[in-house]
Amino acid sequence: RLAAWHSGLRAEFPIITRHPELAYLDSAATAQKPRAVLDAVQEYLTTSNANAGRGTYPWANRTTAIIEGTRNRVKAFLDDPSPDTSEVHFTSGTTEGLRLVALDWLVHQLRDGDEIIVPSADHQANISPWHEAVEVLARQGTGVTVRAMPYQLSSGDYDTEALAGLVSSRTRFVAATHVHHVYGGDMNVHRIRRTVGPDVTICLDAAQSVGHLPVSMKALDVDFVAFSGHKALALPGSGALWSRNARGTPLTPRGWNGTPNTVGVASLDAALEWLERAGLERVEEWTVRLAARLTDGLRALPPYEVLGCQRSLAADSPVQQRHGIVTFRHRAIDSVDLGFILFSHGFMVRTDGLCQGGAGGSRSSVRVSLHVYNSREEVDRLLGVLADLA
């Protein structure tokens, strides 16, 4: 069933079909684009390219309509049923979205003695903005305490029991990551609301989840969702920050204040439409299965160590769900060398520190990250090459 669904999809990515000798396995860094996105960009630039504006001429009106339409598409994509109490701001990616929350919003919310809880071993983009915000406040004489989000090593996600022990009446804000960019683990963010209570603002880094699996602000009950369009099949330089405005001061909508990245927005609209059509449940199932296949294969090869508590999807294991990211190292071959060896066989993987903050950042490793265009054949071929090096 899944194989039949997948058989036509891979052919929709021109860069993939153009290079049959190569296997792109670095989608956590950025994703490839389906023809529908390339066509939408071409269509926009050849029929409507203008700045957004109101009511003066058709190209500007179409540009405005695309921007407004994409705002609504992002809301629907995030399962947001309340268009009046939420906002979508177009950004250049997750980094900008999180920085907006930290430096345009959070700094205006916090008072002396408040506490925030933020990650220490996630992507750097979801660590440094919170500390910067606290430094800005400290310079103004406002003291805010930063607590480190606790992790549980056994399953590789957040430890919500320990989190409960950190929450106090002064806790105002929690930052979390939906899917970890090194380990692919679902960080159990659906448990955070229950743990911190209704009054704490929750900001989600959804860089590795939006576009890969269904993301529902309703189910997760969060207040901010930042994601990168370019990791969700849209153009580089596109992204969005969704915010629920029910709590505190809304972010000022920036779209009308300067020239928005209209081409990026048009590409995001087409990318999300493509993903809706493909079906996010199936995209998720496909990449999770490929990742599990790779993990199981690596486990059978003794020189490789799979990082981050990866468990197989064997029927009887109490599975901590892993998404399409598998990070590993060879016990004897340096990871950067391994990256070069793999590329000599056509595999494009990520090596090195992987932008991870905290303790895990310095250890060298190889990351394979998958998207809908990857195939079982690519994973098996990769395992064959890795076995030859074992």
Residues in contact with ligand PMP by CB under 6 A are 28-29, 93-95, 123, 125-126, 177, 181, 205, 207-208, 228, 355
Instruction: Compare residues 177 and 374 and give the one whose CB is closer to ligand PMP.
Output: 177
CB of 185 to ligand PMP, least distance (A): 11
Which residue type is seen at 27? S
In the sheet where 115-118 sits, what is the strand order?
86-91, 239-244, 224-228, 201-205, 171-177, 115-118, 145-148
Secondary structure element (H or E) that encloses residue 328, with its range: strand 325-330
Shortest distance (Å) from residue 94 CB to ligand PMP: 4
Minimum separation from the CB atom of position 17 to ligand PMP (A): 26
CB of 374 to ligand PMP, least distance (A): 17
Instruction: Find the shortest distance in angstroms from Cβ 262 to ligand PMP.
Output: 19
The residue among 157 and 205 lying less far from ligand PMP, judged by its C-beta, is: 205
Based on CB atoms, which residue is closest to ligand PMP, 61 or 128? 128
* Cβ proximity to ligand PMP, 240 vs 386, nearer residue: 240
Write the burial class of residue 103 (CB in 10 Å: 0-12 exposed, 13-18 middle, 19+ buried).
middle
Toward ligand PMP, which CB reaches closer, 30 or 320? 30
Apex CA 215: angle with CA 30 and CA 284, to 5°? 65
Strands 86-91 and 239-244: antiparallel
- Which residue, 328 or 383, has its beta carbon nearer to ligand PMP? 328
Q: What is the 3-state secondary structure (H, E, C) of 301-312?
A: CCCEEECCCCCC
CA angle 309, 31, 127 (to 5 degrees): 55
Contact 46, 244 (CB under 8 A): no
Residue with tokens 């979508």: 88
d(CA 200, CA 172): 5
Least Cβ distance, residue 181 to ligand PMP (angstroms):
3
Closer CB to ligand PMP, residue 28 or residue 386? 28
Q: In the chain, how long is the greatest CA-to-CA distance?
A: 67
* 224 DSSP β-pair partners: 203, 243
Minimum gap (Å) between residue 95 Cβ and ligand PMP: 3
Q: Which C-beta is closer to ligand PMP: that of 299 or that of 363?
A: 363
Taking the complex as a whole, the smallest distance from the CB of residue 109 to ligand PMP amounts, in Å, to: 22
CB of 140 to ligand PMP, least distance (A): 27
Please count the other Cβ atoms lying within 10 Å of the Cβ belonging to residue 385.
14
Judged by beta carbon, residue 125 or residue 280, the one nearer ligand PMP is: 125
Identity at 196, one-letter amino acid code: V
Q: What residues contact 290, with CB distance under 8 A and at least 6 apart?
A: 324, 370, 374, 376, 379
Answer for the pair 269, 73: CB distance below 8 angstroms, yes or no: yes
Q: Which is nearer to ligand PMP, 123 or 322 (CB)?
A: 123
Element (H, E) at 368: strand 365-369
Tokens of 107: 């700094």
**Shortest Cβ 170–ligand PMP spacing (Å):** 27
Residue with the shortest CB distance to ligand PMP: 93
Residues ≥6 apart with Cβ < 8 Å to 296: 312, 313, 314
